[in-house]
Amino acid sequence: MRVELLSYLSTERLLEALKGLGLAYPTPERLLPHVSFTFSVEGISRACSHQLIRHRTASFTQQSQRFVKVKRLREHVVIPESVRERALQPYLEFIDKTGELYVKLLELGVPGEDARFVLPNATTTNLLVTMNGLALRHFFGLRCCLRAQWEIRNLADIMLLKVRSADPMLPTLGPYCHQLGYCPEGRFSCGRMTEVRKRYGELAANF
C-alpha cells in the first residue's frame, strides 16, 4: 500500500482568506466543510476499495478492470497476514490458477469487462480520493476504530498522519471514541477504549 497526499486546502489558508473578506473569525470546526484533501492510493485490495467507496460524500476515481488488464496476477494481490501464516501455499496456488483462467479468457476473445469476473477481491487497485473535512472526520471515526477491517484501518491511519501533518489546526480526528470521549459502539465495543484514546491522543500531540 502506498498513499500520497497530492493536494489540500488547509484551515490556516481558509482563515487567511476570511480575514481578507472581512468575515467573522470561525472556529476550525466550522471550517470542516471547506477544507479538502486529495490522496493517491496505490496497491490496496478490491476488498478494501469496496469499503472505501461506501463513503459516498467523498469523490473517487478508480483504476478500471475493464480497460487495465492484469498481467501476472500473483504480483497484483494483497495477502492477509493470517493467510501468510496459515495457508500461503494453497492461497498462491488459487491465485495462479485464477490468473491463468483470466488470461485464457482474454486469449479466447472474452472482453476484458467479462474476463474480470473471475478476478478475486485480493486483486490490487489504485484510486484518487478527495474528501472534505466532514467526510474525513466520519471516515476516521469509523475506519480508525479497532472494529474496522485491518486493511482499511491501516489506510485510514496513514491518511490521518498525512492530514495531521498538513493541517495541525484541524479539530480532533481519529476513531469515534477519541473524537467523542466515549465509545458509540455499545455492546460491540472493542473494550480497549482507554488504550485507543491514549494512542490517538499521543498522535495528535505530536503535531
Q: Which residues are catalytic?
A: 143
Neighbouring C-alpha atoms within 13 Å toward the C-beta of 6 = 11
Q: What 3-state DSSP class applies to 133?
A: helix
Q: Please enumerate in sequence order all residues whose Cβ is within 8 A of that of 27, keeping only pairs 6 or more positions apart, or say none.
A: 171
CA 40: distance to chain centroid? 10
Q: What angle do CA 135, 42, 82 make, to 5 degrees?
A: 95
DSSP result, 69-115:
---SGGGGB---HHHHHH-HHHHHHHHHHHHHHHHHHHHTT--HHHH
Q: Are 121 and 77 in contact (CB under 8 A)?
A: no
Cα torsion 12, 17, 18, 19 to 10°: value is: 90
d(CA 48, CA 43): 10
Strands (E), 35-179: 36-45, 59-62, 124-132
